[in-house]
Amino acid sequence: MRLSRSILPALFFSSLFTATLALADGDPARGQGLYVVCATCHGQNGEGSQEQNAPSLAGREQWYLARQLHNFKAGVRGAHADDVYGKMMAPMALILPDDQAIEDVAAYVASLK
């Protein structure tokens, strides 16, 4: 079956929407407990720290946070020799034991304003 060019963008964006919905299953209460380690650099309220070059996380969307944690954990981010700060973050992402923990932390952080 050949798809027309006008249908492809619709399919692409609907798949993104579906993926975003799938990420909505994080438990912010559990994520708050896991975030304790993250707060060392990113702050209690996700405000970040210039001294540690840790960006603010508060207000970021859950899907984005989860994606970045997955990328650090998988070595997609923080593996390049010149990525000094990414090399600091990558082992921290490995502390999260599984995908559910990532979703939980992302849900908690996304709730910070």
- Indicate whether 77 belongs to any domain: yes
Predicted confidence at residue 17, as pLDDT, reads 47
Residue 17 lies in a domain: no
Beta carbons within 8 Å of 69's beta carbon, 6+ residues apart = 93, 96, 102, 105, 106
Note down the domain range covering 40.
Answer: 26-111
pLDDT for residue 20: 46
Token pair 């304003």 is at which residue? 113
**How many distinct structural domains can be found in the chain?**
1
Q: What angle do CA 21, 24, 25 make, to 5 degrees?
A: 125
Kindly state whether residue 41 falls inside one of the protein's structural domains: yes
Sign of dihedral through CA atoms 42, 87, 105, 108? positive
Domain-located, residue 33: yes
Give, for all 113 residues of the chain, the pLDDT tens digit: 555 555 645 545 455 444 444 445 999 999 999 999 999 999 999 999 999 999 999 999 999 999 999 999 999 999 999 999 999 999 999 999 999 999 999 999 999 98
Q: Which CATH number fits the domain that encloses residue 62?
A: 1.10.760.10
Predicted TM-score (pTM) of this structure: 0.76
| 62 is a domain residue | yes
Residue 21 included in any domain: no
SS3 letters for the chain? CCCCCCHHHHHHHHHHHHHHHHHHHCCHHHHHHHHHHHHHHHCCCCCCECCCCECCCCCCCHHHHHHHHHHHHHCCCCCCCCCHHHHHHHHHHCCCCCHHHHHHHHHHHHHCC
Establish if 45 belongs to a structural domain.
Answer: yes
Does 12 reside within a domain? no
